[in-house]
Amino acid sequence: MEPIVARAAERLAMAKHILTQLQLIEHWSRFGNPVIVGAVAYGLVVAPDIDIEIFCETPAIPDGFAVLQACALHPRVSKAQFANKLAKPDQGLYWQLRYLGEDGQTWNLDMWSLRHDHPGPYAAALVAPMKQALNDEARHAILTIKEQVLSDISLHCGSINIYRAVLDDGIRTTEQFRLWLDQHQTSELLSWKPKTT
């Protein structure tokens, strides 16, 4: 296994370990349908982040605080916070946990409570198309660029832009991606999905 792929696999294993330690899916399942999204869903983990969307009839603040309270009791959870963004473009309730890994690295767990009929865009809709579009070459390119973006502030952008560049426009190197960024809008709320062949 190539080193860059091995590193991603190790981070994915750590993300799954954290989810198990916190019983996060089980806690959220009491209030809705939790879906792991983002890099953990695709096996493209570079930054120490875990993203979950929870789809429910009506996002409820007490429900989320019940989950945060249960998780905050874990000795490796160092922070828990909440933001009401129902009236914002995200149209949801935002929850975050910080988890200190055994290796000393802090993981961010970002969670959104959304209505079942959320108009989008939302990340859960991207999971199946992304998995279908990824191949070994694209996966390697994405991981390479993501590692560089993490260490180079001039390249900072949402990961969805890296996916767009690699899967739609054939970008394969960091320098190609730097040029791509100069020519494309990189707003965070995008209704993008990979092009189908």
| Nearest partner of 128 among 16, 36, 3, judged by Cα | 36
Q: Which two tokens stand for residue 73?
A: 């009791």
Quickly state the pLDDT bin for 157 (edges 50, 70, 90): confident
The pTM of this model reads 0.93
pLDDT tens-place string over residues 21-69: 999 999 999 999 999 999 999 999 999 999 999 999 999 999 999 999 9
Domain 3-119 sits in CATH at 3.30.460.10
Helices within 43-173 (DSSP H only): 61-72, 124-133, 136-151, 159-169
| Nearest partner of 111 among 76, 78, 81, 74, judged by Cα | 81
Q: Where are the domains of the chain?
A: 3-119, 134-183
Element (H, E) at 17: helix 3-22
Distance CA 87, CA 92 (A): 8
